[in-house]
Chain A
Amino acid sequence: MSGKEYRTITDVKGPLVFLEKTEPVAFGEIVQLRLTDGTMKNGQVLDTSDDMVVVQVFEGTAGVDLGSSVKFMGDVFKLPVSKDLIGRILDGAGRPRDGGPAIVAEGEADIIGAAINPYSRQSPHDFIQTGISAIDCCTTLVRGQKLPIFSASGLPHNDIALQIARQAKLKDSDEEFIVVFCAMGITAEEYNFFRSDLERTGALENAVLFVNLADDPAVERLITPRLALTAAEYLAFEQDYHVLVVYTDVTNYCDALRQIGAAREEVPGRRGYPGYMYTDLAMLYERAGLVKGKKGSITQFPILTMPGDDITHPIPDLSGYITEGQIVISRELHGSGIYPPINVLPSLSRLMGGCIGEKTTREDHKSVSDQMYAAYAQGRELRGLVAIVGEDALNERDKQLLDFSGLFEDKFLRQSRDENRSIDETLDLCWDLMQNISTKYLVRLDQKWIDKYHPTEKK
């Protein structure tokens, strides 16, 4: 049945093409369209029955007419996988974009990806040092975690992602990550920024790029991350690599999803996004982790921009419900010139508890992190009060906390784009800053750590 061409298009709507009377076509089957002017397009079957087939066209339906022909390829979407992927740049549909040869496949993998058996998973527990104090101390990244950046337009999330990609390593280890980078609808300028940075640092040789840009077909974005994750799974679970998947921007992905939903006249969920968006995103985010008996791992670092800076928007909301924490970028901090402008208060790493401490980072890490967080939270709150009653009305404790919140941002958060702090440096810096608060107010610090680490009060 595959290979046969049909000219039975009855309707074209948005990115969808409807056909009548074909041989039995498989659900999810890959489709090639030949337009009357000879242009080729690709698509995938979304609905199939004896009478009617619905195809989503990745490149959009511009130019498609009822005379266009449709060829069913007999199989679902597969990515040719091989170690040769490393160092390559592919487009959003998996074709070489770097002028290089086609990938010589060692195998083929279905891009939808089967679910990892929960029983076969292994809990992530290895500390990844990113060299960024705010992350390492307060929202520790763990190998095998899915930890998104919640950002918004105009904020330096790309710099942060790149800095992490450059600097991420296990403590006391030189083992490198393979970076799988997946661009979904970002601008050419953003992409060039990523690529030239990876090139400059030599990381490109150890990376695989899947690139769908803003002017590339929107619907193609629905497969780009699946290609990237399929490559990641192959490299991690067949080739034993530790893979760091960076994908940006999940918001563009979700908008493509919404477009398909609208074209199918589905009942929309919140803000017009499809009701199944949670499940759909989970099928990306859950492709992270470690599995028993395999050496490699997949750590995911998705980037999304919150429309209207609104964290309750369905895209960050549903993401937060699936991922293992989030790193929230703040417009306010960015506005006051702080890089990286990470707001640690709404940020969270859910796997942190199991990965920090004596054996992995340092014995005082938890205590220090709790104290830094609490003191900063209180200091920030006081800023509001000071705006009303003035600084003079504060008592001694509050004054110290208020000042500390400024230091926290200026000395702890702020670091340069190529500054790579070790976890020891980060924790020492914390102690250094906490000196500015008298120890009687540092109630979250265990006395034994004060005795051991406090710059002026240690014994």
Chain B
Amino acid sequence: MSDENGVIYRISGPVVTATGIRSRMYEVVRVGHEGLMGEVIELHGDKSVIQVYEDTSGIRPGEPVVRTGQTLSVQLGPGLLTQIYDGIQRPLPVLEKTMGTFIERGVDADGLDLEKVWDFEAAVSVGDEVAPGAVIGTVQETETIVHKVMLPPNHSGKVASIESGSFNVTQTVCTLEDGTEIQMMQKWPVRTPRPYHQKYAPDTPLITGMRILDFLFPLAKGGAAGIPGPFGSGKTVTQQSLAKYSDAQIVVYIGCGERGNEMTEVLDEFPHLIDPNTGKPLMNRTVMIANTSNMPVAAREASVYTGITIAEYFRDMGYDVALMADSTSRWAEAMREISSRLEEMPGEEGYPAYLSSRLAEFYERAGRVETLEGEDGSVTVIGAVSPPGGDISEPVSQGTLRIVKVFWGLDAGLARQRHFPAINWLSSYSLYPQSLDQWFRDNIATDFPEIRTEISSLLQVEAELQEIVQLVGSDALPVDQQLTLEVARMIREFFLQQNGFHDVDAYTGLEQQYKMAKAILTFQDSAKKALAAGGLLEDVVNVPARTNLMRDRFEPGYVDRVDGLVDEMNQQIAAAAEEN
């Protein structure tokens, strides 16, 4: 028996042990008569331990195992956008074509359509020196996105020939003087981060259109955020909202161990939804990965790496990429399941001891970088976390919180009150405001950070007052404190609550966010004045113009009307004081 071919020695669920091959760690192997795809994850003497990406029922010891010499890689090139893949980059539409409604096993599928012909426009000329990562040409991949064809990171030289024209992704579009032929498709091993020149500190916010996020807990382009929350608290709705409205140029959405119907929803919706930033369907900028809860766990483990590698590839073109992983807990559980089959020494709650380093390595692949080509590109990572029983003292939540700088904590109590997004404003945080404040001052309003501080301290004060109210009732409070409660209620109901399913309310631009926040503070000021002038709290807070101000946000064009509505409210409040 050669070193290339071995046989199965043992099968235990998704983990198969083979003897007779001299494989390398993380090498892809073919398992059994059906040639199921697997990856070597451990070596013991002459035994290779393999995680298999497909169901292993019916496979027997003695069946063949064949090396491929490759590590688990993705195909990168035009054709990624608008596609939906499983965890190991098999396009789901292709799988449907070959096997129908149900995913059977033993079917290979290329990540890219190898036949499809693209219009390649050369960007360099014969004789040019090209370095690793250099953009040698472009392809209009979708209506809105230009795909930059880059020299793979391990190549450089002088261009010997290059041609614009129609090519598929495997045809040579460029040759270097040393004879290297370059195609539009390159491969990259998913577990290795793609190289860049250097990382920069993020200084620009990822604008999401969700008021509580942008205004109170902003995330930077190139940053990382964690969204922990119990079931039904709004992780998926939030992630989908970000995928729809955030101002990233490319979105990679990973459904990792979650529901099939949620992916269907994205597939149904995105082609019809218009990207507020380009005016074109959202699908144009989106790559999806769907390895649902009932699909093989080993492929679930791989899915986040497949996703982040694709994200890095677009970053290398100089794009701002946002990646959502829903849910990283399911990824961690896949690691746990494989680890337990390996009979590894378990760490906390049965998770492998390397859980936190894997989490850290993953989030470290986020960042704003200078690409090899010298461009500015970023990958922003937003990971949902599903803590058992909603208790974030567990290892995945804790491992995540140690790394990410933004914590959007979803709260079961708020969800039950139907306060959406159910993000707890007291426990959530962002460590980015310092690096982003300059941007907000320059681009939105010079006092943006100060307004934010005022709003959040009002919420803080409310929490303290609420404790007293629990004991004595709100009528027992002095009137200025009752007003504070009213202002805080306005912050919650008018500003923080946002209906993710409402055509207009789901997205609020930063200018409008700022105006809404100012409107609340203006209300506070005029109400204070009116109270000082002898107005009654009851009259002051119930002026119809304030209700209008609050309700009108559901109608389009609100940003242009806010100022007028605020004026009207001020007048009515002043009038309410005079009546007394």
Chain A residue nearest in CB terms to B340: A267
Cβ-defined contact, A118 with B333, below 8 A:
no
Q: Is A383 an interface residue (CB 8 A)?
A: no
A215 to B292, CA, bound (A): 35
Which residue of B56, B230, B261, B386 contacts A121 across the interface (Cβ within 8 Å)? B261
B127 at the interface (CB under 8 A from A): no
Q: A24-B61, A47-B12, A278-B333 are in contact. Are A114 and B259 (CB under 8 A)?
A: no
Contacts of A317 in B (CB 8 A): 230-231, 388-389
Count class of interface residues, chain B: 35 or more
Complex: chain A residue closest to B551, CB-CB:
A443
What's the Cα separation between A293 and B97 when bound, in Å?
A: 13
Report yes or no: B101 in contact with A117, Cβ–Cβ below 8 A. Answer: yes
Q: Give every chain B residue within 8 A of A75 (Cβ-Cβ).
A: 58
| A293 proximity list for chain B (CB < 8 A) | 101
Q: Which residues of A contact B93 (CB under 8 A)?
A: 119
Q: How far is the CA of A374 from the CA of B84 in the complex (A)?
A: 39
Q: Check A6 for interface membership: any CB of B closer than 8 A.
A: no
For the complex, is A345 an interface residue (Cβ under 8 Å from B)?
Answer: yes
Task: Tell me the complex Cα distance, A120–B268, Å.
Answer: 11
Chain B CB within 8 A of A407 CB: no
B346 within 8 A of A: yes
Residue A377, interface by CB 8 Å:
yes
Chain A stretch 303-356: residues in CB contact (< 8 A) with chain B: 312-314, 317-318, 320-322, 324-326, 345-346, 348, 350-351, 353
**Does more than half of chain A's interface fall in helix, strand or loop, or is it mixed?**
mixed
Q: Mark B263-285, 1 if CB is under 8 A from A, else 0.
A: 11101100000000000000000
B315 interface residue per 8 A CB criterion: no
Whether A320 contacts B232 by the Cβ 8 Å rule is yes
Name which of B293-301, B317-325, B572-580 contacts chain A.
Answer: B293-301
- Residue in chain A with minimal CB distance to B389: A312
Q: Does B55 touch A at the CB level, under 8 Å? A: yes
Chain A, residues 272-283, CB within 8 Å of chain B (1/0): the string is 000110110011
Q: Separation in Å of the A259 CB from the closest CB of chain B?
A: 17
The minimal Cβ–Cβ distance linking B339 to chain A, given in whole angstroms, is: 9
Q: In the complex, are the beta carbons of A25 and B264 less than 8 A apart?
A: no
Residue of A nearest to B62 (CB): A24
Give Cα distance in the complex from A289 to B261, angstroms. Answer: 8
Residue B88 CB within 8 A of the other chain: no
Residue of B nearest to A52 (CB): B10
CB distance from A222 to the nearest CB of B (A): 14
Most chain-B CB neighbours within 10 Å: which of A124, A269, A351, A370? A269
Q: Which of A49, A117, A266, A286 contacts B293 (CB 8 A)?
A: A286
A18 at the interface (CB under 8 A from B): no
Q: Is B255 in contact with A275, judged by CB distance below 8 angstroms?
A: no
A358: interface (CB < 8 Å): no
Bound together, the chains give a CA A373 to CA B419 distance in angstroms of 13
Q: Which residues of B contact A267 (CB under 8 A)?
A: 340, 346, 350
Partner of B57, one of A26, A374, A377: A26
Q: When the two chains form their complex, are residues A325 and B60 in contact, meaning their CB atoms are under 8 A apart? A: no
Partner pick for A123 among B9, B255, B268, B349, CB 8 A cutoff: B268
Given A114-B102, A117-B103, do A47 and B264 touch, yes or no (CB 8 Å)?
A: no
CA distance A420 to B548 in the complex (A): 41
Q: Could you tell me if B84 and A320 are in contact, using CB atoms closer than 8 angstroms?
A: no
Q: B58, B260, B290, B349: which contacts A270 (Cβ < 8 A)?
A: B349
Q: Which residues of B contact A318 (CB under 8 A)?
A: 388
Q: Fill in one digit per residue for A152-173: 1 if any B CB lies within 8 Å of its CB, else 0.
A: 0000000000000000000000
Whether B416 pairs with A270 at a CB distance below 8 angstroms is no
* Chain A hits for B9, CB < 8 A: 49-50
Inter-chain contact A282/B102, CB cutoff 8 Å? no
Whether B350 lies near A114 (C-beta < 8 A) is no
- Do the beta carbons of B58 and A279 come within 8 Å of each other? no
Q: Could you say which of A115, A283, A320, A322 has the most chain B C-beta atoms within 10 Å of its C-beta?
A: A115
CB < 8 Å neighbour of B333 from A25, A27, A279: A279
- Known contacts A25-B61, A275-B337, A279-B297: A118-B264 contact under CB 8 Å: yes
A287 to chain B, nearest CB (A): 8
Is B330 part of the contact surface with A, judged by Cβ < 8 Å? yes
A100 to B340, CA, bound (A): 44
Known contacts A123-B261, A286-B259, A312-B390; decide if A118 and B92 are in contact (CB<8 Å). yes
Beyond A27-B59, A275-B337, A286-B293, whether A118 also contacts B84 by CB under 8 A is yes
Query: Could you say which residues of chain A place their CB within 8 Å of the CB of B103?
Result: 114-117
Do A50 and B10 form a contact, CB below 8 Å, given A26-B57, A123-B265, A237-B101? yes
Q: How far is the CB of B205 from chain A (nearest CB, A)?
A: 29
Known contacts A27-B11, A49-B10; A118 and B263 CB within 8 A of each other? yes
Cβ-based interface call for A62 (8 A): no
A50 to B418 CA separation, bound complex (whole angstroms): 57
Question: Is A393 located at the chain interface by the 8 A CB criterion?
Answer: yes
Q: Is the pair A48, B96 in contact by a Cβ cutoff of 8 Å? A: no
Contact with B92, one of A117, A123, A324, A345 (Cβ below 8 angstroms):
A117
CB distance from A239 to the nearest CB of B (A): 15
In the bound complex, how far is the Cα of B337 from the Cα of A275, in angstroms?
7
Q: What is the minimal beta-carbon distance from B321 to any residue of chain A, in angstroms?
A: 22
CB of A122 within 8 A of chain B?
A: yes
Which residues of the other chain, A, contact B473 by a CB distance below 8 angstroms? 389, 393
Query: CA A325 – CA B231 in complex, angstroms?
Result: 9
Q: What are the residues of chain B within 8 A of A287 when measuring CB–CB?
A: 294
Known contacts A49-B9, A117-B96, A370-B418; decide if A321 and B336 are in contact (CB<8 Å): no
Give a binary string over A15-28; 1 marks a CB under 8 Å from any B CB, 0 the rest. 00000000011111
Count chain A CB atoms within 10 A of each CB in B264, B340, B389, B417 and give the residue with the most: B264
Complex: A275 Cα to B351 Cα, angstroms: 9
Interface centre among B59, B260, B263, B330 (most CB of A within 10 A): B260
CB pair B57 A119 closer than 8 Å:
no
Which A residues lie within 8 Å of B417 (CB)? 377
Measured between beta carbons, the chain B residues less than 8 angstroms from A455 are none
Indicate if the CB atoms of A348 and B232 lie closer than 8 Å. yes
Instruction: Pick the contact of B418: A48, A121, A275, A374 (CB < 8 A).
Output: A374
Q: If A25-B61, A118-B84, A317-B231 touch, does A48 touch B101 (CB 8 Å cutoff)?
A: no
Residues 21-56 of B contacting A (Cβ, < 8 Å): 55-56
Expressed in whole angstroms, the Cα–Cα distance for A124 and B292 within the complex equals: 17
CB distance from B537 to the nearest CB of A (A): 14
Which of A26, A29, A122 is the most central at the interface, judged by chain B CB atoms within 10 Å of its CB? Answer: A26
Most buried by B among A286, A326, A393: A286
> Nearest Cβ distance between residue B459 and chain A, in whole angstroms?
21
Question: B340, A119: Cβ atoms under 8 Å?
Answer: no
Bound-complex Cα distance A284 to B260 (A)? 13
Contact status of A27 and B350, CB under 8 A, knowing A47-B11, A320-B231, A370-B418: no
* A115 adjacent to B295 (CB under 8 Å): yes
Report the Cα distance A279→B95, complex, angstroms. Answer: 22
Inter-chain CA distance A47–B418, complex, in Å, is: 47
B204 on the interface (CB 8 Å rule)?
Answer: no
Q: CA of A267 to CA of B416 in the docked complex: distance in angstroms?
A: 34
Residues of A within 8 A of B56 (CB): 27-28
- Measured in the bound complex, the distance between the Cα atoms of B261 and A413 in whole Å is 30
Within 8 A of A (CB), among B54-85: 55-63, 84
Question: A-facing mask of B236-272, CB < 8 A → 1, else 0?
Answer: 0000000000000000000101011101110110000
| B104 at interface, CB cutoff 8 A | yes
Closest Cβ of chain B to A268, distance in Å, is: 7
Please tell me which one of the listed residues B10, B350, B501 contacts residue A353 in the complex, with CB atoms under 8 A apart.
B501
- Provide the residues of chain A in CB contact with B57, threshold 8 Å: 26-28, 76, 110, 112
Known: A276-B333, A348-B232. 9 other contacts (CB 8 A): A29-B58, A49-B10, A115-B292, A117-B95, A312-B388, A312-B390, A324-B259, A346-B416, A351-B261
- In the A-B complex, the 5 residue pairs with the smallest Cβ-Cβ separation, listed nearest first, are A49-B10, A282-B293, A28-B57, A312-B389, A119-B92
19 contacts between A and B (CB under 8 A): A25-B61, A27-B12, A50-B9, A115-B102, A115-B103, A117-B92, A118-B92, A118-B255, A119-B263, A121-B260, A269-B349, A286-B294, A294-B101, A312-B390, A314-B388, A320-B231, A322-B293, A353-B501, A374-B418
